[in-house]
Amino acid sequence: MTDFLLYALLAGLGVALVAGPLGCFVVWRRMAYFGDTLAHSALLGVSIGVLLNINLSITVAAIPLLMALGLVYLEQRGILSLDTLLGILSHSALATGLVLISLLPDVRVDLMSLLFGDLLSVTLNDLWVIYGVASAVVLLLILLWKPLINITVHADLAAVEGVRVGAVRTALMLITALVIAIAMKIVGVLLITALLIIPAATARRISNTPEQMAVTASAIAMLTVIMGLGMSWYADTPAGPSVVVCAALLFILSLLFRQRS
Amino acid sequence: MSSHPLITLDKVNKSFNERPVLQNISMRLMQGEITTLIGPNGAGKSTLVRLILGLIRPDSGLITPASDLKIGYMPQKISIDPSLPISTCRFLQLANASHSACHEALNMVGISHLAASPIQTLSGGELQRALLARAILRKPNFLVLDEPVQGVDVTGQNALYKMIGELSKSLNCGVLMVSHDLHLVMSATDQVICLNQHICCQGHPEQVTQDPAYIDIFGQTTAIYSHHHDHQHSIHGEVLDSQGVHQHGEGCNHD
């Protein structure tokens, strides 16, 4: 096996590990569109990073995080419904990112790899970043698991019982921004939400508890990465979309199981 | 049975976007007493409950909780996404309680057989009981129940009210209950507060239902608690008193 394939596999598995549990929260809290918006803003993060000559790993996490905080502020002001706000921000961020990239003096950025991922170009340095971030995310999820589940069920009830709802929500946004930043390399900004949601939705059909669903989603996401890379290797298809196609196939397969309640 | 104030409100005001929702609310909620909060839609009942729970802050005025205050809260309605696999027992355990404490609480509200059932499959009445179980789980001395019988049929409503009365007695806790049907909660209520952005009237159920302010809002048929209402409310709840006949009653300190 060649190095680049091994790196691709390890990178994909690292991202899949955290995409599973985070994807569960995206499904439980109905944040799919929210996740999409943050993912699209990661593209803006790339163009801003290149323009201002800042490390891209920082800007692709920072811009979605700023976007998330901005969304919370706008939603509390109650100007428009969250759905409309997300629609505006999501596509404005994507379009602004694309426009800024086209304005860059020398084309150093491969647009296709940003939009759909470039798993096969993962370097050893990328691996360090991915596993560093994934470890931080796993740690945060374990530490905050109980309050996260509690605010997902009912925020006011959790608040009365002493959970600091605002802080936990902000932490979840931070986690989301971090996962988006590392998932971008694997499936690109347009397919990140798929990597989050599809394994979680598949896991739901065979899970009885939140923990079971989170672990199963992780395992399914890892399996889809292996399957997608295999498909890409043998059929010479783009890696990111192949991973998502495999995730979708597993989901369809899961429909054969009776949903556990 | 000791009776001390669990929470005291002093001239509390709250407005949203410069629209006053609550004006000059002063009240005391006592240990071992059931207080029922009634009022038309938009009267600020939910806002008052959220202030008392500490979920929002007043614009002015003081809310003073007792040092030993421990609140058990039963929210108005709850919908949990079906994508979250969670049993009734696990739902209770979210309140930081042990497995055995959860079973005990489910037993007290009579649905211990549903412990393993997914919370989303519970019927309206069963779900309200599960919420009540979670509210009493942490051995509170103050229960806040926001429309506890919503979505429950009439027989179930009576049973639920009876259960709330018994539980509050056995736990010796104070209760604040938001309710639309005073005629059902009458017998179990020590104090009724009739709210319409300000406190229109308050007192024992028999007093309040004879109060014209109450009759004005709720009509004669359901009136069991009463007071004399000498003013009218605009659709926004402000006091309309063109003739200047309104006499401020005891504890009535709105403009």
The size of the A-B interface in CB pairs under 8 A is 68
User: What is the distance between the alpha carbons of residues B97 and A48, in angstroms, rounded to a whole number?
Assistant: 48
In this prediction, what percent of chain A has a pLDDT beyond 70? 97
Q: Which residues in chain A touch residue B50, judged by CB atoms under 8 angstroms apart?
A: 156
Q: What is the DSSP string of chain B?
A: ----EEEEEEEEEEEETTEEEEEEEEEEEETT-EEEEE--TTSSHHHHHHHHHTSS--SEEEEEE-TT--EEEE-S-----TTS--BHHHHHHTTT--HHHHHHHHHHTT-GGGTTSBGGG--HHHHHHHHHHHHHHT--SEEEEESTTTT--HHHHHHHHHHHHHHHHHHT-EEEEE-S-HHHHGGG-SEEEEEESEEEEEE-HHHHHTSHHHHHHH-STT--SB----SEE-TT-PEE-TT------TT----
Mean pLDDT of A235-247: 93
Check CB contact under 8 Å for B85 and A158: no
pLDDT lower than 70: segments of chain B:
1-2, 182, 187, 219-255
More confident residue, A227 or B183: A227
Q: Which residues in chain A touch residue B101, judged by CB atoms under 8 angstroms apart?
A: none
Decide if B46 touches A, using CB distance below 8 A. no
Which pLDDT value is given to residue A1?
A: 56
Give B 139-168 residues with CB within 8 A of chain A: 144
User: What is the distance between the alpha carbons of residues B9 and B24, in angstroms, rounded to a whole number?
Assistant: 9
Residue of B nearest to A160 (CA): B53
Query: Is A118 in a helix, a strand, or coil?
Result: coil
Q: Residues B77-97: pLDDT tens digits?
A: 788 999 999 999 999 999 878
Pick from A248, A246, A214, A204: nearest CA to A228: A246
Mean pLDDT across chain B: 81
Taken in order of first residue, the domains within chain B and their CATH numbers are: 1-70+141-149+173-255 (3.40.50.300)
Which pLDDT value is given to residue B224?
A: 47
CA distance, residue A61 to nearest chain B CA (Å): 28
Pick from B145, B149, B130: nearest CA to B86: B130
User: Which tokens in the block code for residue B222?
Assistant: 């359901």
Give B 61-120 residues with CB within 8 A of chain A: 71, 73, 75, 78, 80-81, 83-87, 90-91, 94-96, 118, 120
Q: For A3-254, which CATH superfamily applies?
A: ABC transporter involved in vitamin B12 uptake, BtuC (1.10.3470.10)
Of B80, B83, B87, the CB nearest to A204: B83
Decide if A28 touches B, using CB distance below 8 A. yes
Pick from B174, B148, B204, B158: nearest CA to B34: B174
Q: Which residues in chain B touch residue A30, judged by CB atoms under 8 angstroms apart?
A: 81
User: Which tokens in the block code for residue A124?
Assistant: 């050893």
Map out the domains of chain A as residue ranges. Answer: 3-254
Which pLDDT value is given to residue A211?
A: 96
CA of residue B120 relative to chain centroid, distance: 24
Q: Which residues in chain B touch residue A210, judged by CB atoms under 8 angstroms apart?
A: 84-86, 90
Of B73, B85, B96, the CB nearest to A157: B73
Residue of A nearest to B137 (CA): A161
Which pLDDT value is given to residue B247?
A: 52
Q: Residues B168-206: pLDDT tens digits?
A: 888 888 999 998 776 777 767 888 888 888 888 777 777
Instruction: Spell out the residues 6+ positions from residue B151 whose beta carbon is closer than 8 angstroms to its own.
Output: B77, B124, B125, B127, B128
Q: Residues A185-207: pLDDT tens digits?
A: 888 888 999 999 999 999 999 99
Which pLDDT value is given to residue B148?
A: 87
Which pLDDT value is given to residue B237?
A: 53
Q: What is the ipTM of this complex?
A: 0.86
Decide if A77 touches B, using CB distance below 8 A. no
Q: Which amino acid is at A136?
A: A
Decide if A156 touches B, using CB distance below 8 A. yes
Which pLDDT value is given to residue A108?
A: 67
Decide if A203 touches B, using CB distance below 8 A. no
Q: What is the DSSP string of A171-234?
A: HHHHHHHHHHHHHHHHH-TTTHHHHHHHHHHHHHTT-SSHHHHHHHHHHHHHHHHHHHHHHHHH
Decide if B56 touches A, using CB distance below 8 A. no
Mean pLDDT across chain A: 90
Q: Which residues in chain A touch residue B18, judged by CB atoms under 8 angstroms apart?
A: none
Decide if A212 touches B, using CB distance below 8 A. yes
Which pLDDT value is given to residue B228?
A: 46
